[in-house]
Chains A and B, each alone.
Chain A
Amino acid sequence: MDWKRFSFIGLIIVVLFGVVVMVGQVKQPPLLIITSMLATTIAVATPLTLGALSGVFCERAGVVNIGIEGMMLTAAFFGWLGGIYMFHLFGLPAGVSIAFGVFFAILTGGLMALLHAVLSITFKVDQIIGGTVINILAVGLTGFLNRQLFFGKGSVFGGTVPGSPGVLPTIHVPITELFNSVCGASANCLQNVQAINRVFDQKPIAISAILLVFISHYVLFNTRWGLRTRAVGEHPKAADTVGINVVKMRYANVIIGGMFAGLAGAYFTIESVPSFEPLLTNGRGFISLAAMIFGNWTPIGAWAAALVFGASQALLINMQIFRDVIPPQWSFLQESYIVGLTPYILTMFILTGIIGKTTPPAADGVPYEK
């Protein structure tokens, strides 16, 4: 990431936040708006961050993965389903069922990635076609099972969708409590600290996504594993010559990537809302790819780009909150369909490379022939 792209990211985020503050300041103090927008941004950027990390691992090893969308969707479904089964059929406590749900989601992501690996590494299928197959298969599979399992003949749930065990809880970081004594009796000070505290009160997957960004960065650029991964993605022949097992490295990284996508899927149905609907990923797998490209195939860069998309989604959410105080000359901000275009247009703009060209790994998308 060079300064040009980082400053572009900063600029866009400032603009998006500025719009919300300008519109919302008649209703709420700016600090509260900024912190709540920041909290939303971090939360909704979670699946994008994880999706982009998924892409980074696959593509650094030389496998293009446009099936992230499908992996997320399938994982969202099976994670949610697994939670329901554990809760209702095995009678486990809600908390344990939710944990199993997350586990199933990660497992599903890994299995879908295994399919992608078999197609693209073993059978040397065109990787973009293979990814599309994953995406279409995911839509068919989740749509079919969703209807068949709950409404089909002989459904164990007798034609209803049973309640899910719930969503992951927010982890409270005790910043407010810490400042209690410092602020003393000043109500204003306490209020501000509470507002800032909101940014840090995030749910487990959101927090782990951020941790995973830095872990991934360390693994890719500071460990032997990372060096080997990058070697098979840049020059597999050379890697092979020095004794690295290209096929094994690629399989492992694609599956790791799939597990990231699986965790992203869990965000939708286990962390965000406790329900599933067909096509709920809504293109976020593809936006993740754009974040990955804009981040130049690095974890930290991809995260920064994911935050931009998160902010543009947070803009949409906030415009709904401040709907009634939008000034008339800005009335287009009321139209969720128009504001909702922001991430998509941003993606296309970023891909033009005006903000600086990025370079994919040299062997990205090329099957390895010995």
Chain B
Amino acid sequence: MQSEKQSISLTKRILQSISEAILIPFLAILTAVIIGGIIIWFVGGDPILAYKGLIQGSMGSKKAWSETAIWATPYIFAGLAVALAFKGGLFNIGAEGQLAVGAVFSALIGYALPGWLGFDLPAIIHLPLTILFGMLMGGVWAGIVGALKAYTGGHEVINTIMMNYIALNTTSYLLNGIMKDKSPTNVIARTPLIAESARIPAIFDGLRVHWGFILALLVAFLIWWLLNKTTLGFEIRTVGLNPDAAQYAGINVKRTIIVTMLLSGMLAGLAGSIEVTGLNYRHELGFSIGYGYDAIAIALLGRSHPLGVVLAAFLFAAMRNGATRMQFLTQLPVDLISMIQALILLFVAADAIIRYIYRIKSKGERVVLTRGWGG
């Protein structure tokens, strides 16, 4: 009897927590959409038409789906980067810079390596090298911040932001200088095209969606596995929940912080690498502006769970992709999407507001995401 009762209450609790994990983000999105509609109406647009345009533009055709998947790819990687850091108790605002660094160095290996070696590489070697190098550099970029956090207590929030500006300056320097596309007609700060052997092939003929998207889904699964089924994942989560307890339990907290940032940066770097090798075939200054900030919203919306991140990435991708169609139908600027996304983020982050509006009782558990300046 006793155990039966217990198992019922356990099932109930699991169901409750799942429904809450879905309910709150859903209501947050709904509220943001309603407020977005009011804003559209307020500036003289037609909200119904605008949202119709968004849906048509993101899911209305095979091509629309393919483009949405293309947008979703970097979002999944970057969202996972932020989510993984959150799990480890770190706030990585620097996905933006790590992504740019990953993209630049992938592009470098992509266009320059055959020239350095003096012979063409087969795709099976060149492509993985290109991706891995970008990923690694993204990891180093974040790893520096991790090391500063672990050994000096320099706060990762400010340091990742500083690294964003350093990345922006450095990439501007490189793309305007030694890495600039030297073709005579080019005036843009961008690299030359990468070699054919460093490109990710498309999945279907005639559609742009490439295997990088499938890789993103695989990596999402991999991160879930890492976090939940491995010792390292356990260490990351423990340090994230309570570093003092982790220290006491014999976990090397400093090492875990560095590894977490390293992995997080690698994921963000991967986002940049895959954009270069799968979609643009070069790095151009400014293509990735805002990805890092969207990634924060995606990680929070997905509640730092890899599956949640994938779903949230899809939502944001659909909005970005559908925005063009929306603009065409209603003449509303694309920036409107940033507004709605900011509102979604607001309500997801401040789920207390959503609970208050819809009268949902809290279970009384507070998830600690960041910790002040700590020191």
On A, residues with C-beta under 8 Å from B are: 64, 66, 119, 123-130, 132-133, 135-137, 139-141, 143-144, 146-148, 151-154, 282-283, 286, 289-290, 293, 335, 337-338, 340-341, 344-345, 347-348, 351-354, 357-360, 364-366
Contacts and interface: CB of A to CB of B under 8 A. Distances in A.
Given A144-B338, A344-B166, A352-B148, A337 B172 contact: yes
A123 B158 CA distance: 24
B173 A337 contact: yes
Given A125-B350, A126-B349, A140-B342, A293 B373 contact: yes
B370 A129 contact: yes
Task: Give the interface centre of B91, B333, B373 by most chain A CB atoms within 10 Å.
Answer: B373
B333 A151 contact: yes
Given A136-B293, A360-B372, A337 B169 contact: yes
Contact of B335 (A147, A154, A289): A147
B339 A141 contact: yes
Nearest to B176: A337
Contacts of A127: 370, 372
A302 to B, nearest CB: 14
Given A66-B157, A129-B349, A283-B165, A148 B373 contact: no
Task: Give the interface centre of B45, B148, B339, B366 by most chain A CB atoms within 10 Å.
Answer: B339
18 contacts: A64-B373, A123-B356, A125-B352, A128-B372, A136-B341, A140-B340, A140-B342, A144-B339, A151-B333, A152-B331, A293-B155, A337-B170, A337-B172, A341-B169, A348-B158, A352-B154, A360-B375, A365-B371
B88 to A, nearest CB: 15
A221 B152 CA distance: 30
A326 B308 CA distance: 54
B338 to A, nearest CB: 4
Interface in B317-375: 331-333, 335-336, 338-343, 345-346, 349-350, 352-353, 356, 366, 368-373, 375
Given A286-B158, A348-B162, A128 B370 contact: yes
Interface of B: 43-45, 91, 93, 148, 152-155, 157-159, 161-166, 169-170, 172-173, 176, 290, 293, 296-297, 300, 331-333, 335-336, 338-343, 345-346, 349-350, 352-353, 356, 366, 368-373, 375
Given A143-B335, A289-B158, A337-B176, A136 B371 contact: no
Nearest to A70: B342
A283 B161 contact: yes
B325 to A, nearest CB: 16
Nearest to A293: B373
A289 B370 CA distance: 17
B148 A348 contact: yes
B373 A137 contact: no
Contact of B345 (A133, A152, A364): A133
Nearest to B155: A351
Nearest to B371: A365
Contacts of B300: 129
Contacts of A359: 375
B373 A132 contact: no
Given A148-B333, A286-B158, A286-B162, A353 B373 contact: no
A312 to B, nearest CB: 13
B372 A64 contact: yes
A126 B371 CA distance: 8
Given A137-B343, A337-B169, 4 more contacts: A124-B352, A144-B338, A293-B158, A335-B173
Nearest to A347: B162
The 5 closest A-B CB pairs, nearest first, are A365-B372, A140-B338, A337-B173, A351-B154, A123-B352
Contacts of A360: 372-373, 375
A353 B153 contact: yes
Contacts of B346: 133, 137
Given A129-B370, A133-B342, A133-B349, A338 B333 contact: no
A154 to B, nearest CB: 5
A286 B161 contact: yes
Contacts of A143: 335, 338
Given A144-B335, A351-B148, A352-B148, A136 B296 contact: yes
Given A344-B162, A345-B166, A152 B332 contact: yes
Task: Give the interface centre of A151, A337, A353 by most chain B CB atoms within 10 Å.
Answer: A337
Contacts of A351: 148, 152, 154-155, 158-159
A364 B173 CA distance: 38
B297 A147 contact: no
A137 B36 CA distance: 13
A282 B165 CA distance: 9
Task: Give the interface centre of A136, A154, A357, A359 by most chain B CB atoms within 10 Å.
Answer: A136
Contacts of A153: 44-45, 331-332
Nearest to A120: B350
A360 B333 CA distance: 42
Contacts of A345: 162, 166
Contacts of B342: 133, 136-137, 139-141
A152 B338 contact: no
A353 B45 CA distance: 52
A357 B373 CA distance: 12
Nearest to B45: A153
Nearest to B154: A351
Contact of B350 (A123, A128, A152, A341): A123
A162 B282 CA distance: 38
Given A344-B162, A344-B165, A365-B372, A144 B170 contact: no
B166 to A, nearest CB: 5
B373 A364 contact: yes
B335 A338 contact: no
A348 B335 contact: no
Given A351-B154, A365-B373, A119 B43 contact: no
Given A137-B342, A143-B335, A337-B170, A130 B349 contact: yes
Nearest to A369: B366
A53 B141 CA distance: 31
Nearest to A339: B169
B335 to A, nearest CB: 4
Contact of A148 (B43, B155, B176, B345): B43
Contacts of A66: 157-158
B337 to A, nearest CB: 8
Contact of B372 (A141, A144, A358, A366): A366
